[in-house]
Amino acid sequence: MKRTALALAAALTLAGFASGAQAMAEFNMVEDTLRAFLVELRIPSEKADNLTLAQMREIIAIVDSKEMGDGARVQVLKIMGEN
């Protein structure tokens, strides 16, 4: 019984590490996509450092839904607090 509990605890710990690694990989993917879009919009990508994940996703959704132009740029700058 004790071995089963230890094995279960070890499995849960490993699962926690795996889900944490998966979450970090997802965050890195969102951040990389955002930085690529910022470059296309002529916005310095360093400005992405202070954004929340929700703001990053909002910007990506705007850029995905619109043609890369001044309208998208204005909306992104507004989210970033530039306008």
For 36-72, what is each residue's pLDDT tens digit? 888 888 888 887 888 888 888 888 888 877 677 788 8
pLDDT at 14: 54
pLDDT at 19: 63
Q: Which run of H or of E encompasses 6?
A: helix 2-40
pLDDT at 65: 79
pTM of the model: 0.64
Band of pLDDT at residue 78, cut at 50, 70 and 90:
very high
Distance CA 49, CA 82 (A): 14
Burial of 77 (0-12, 13-18, 19+ CB in 10 A): middle
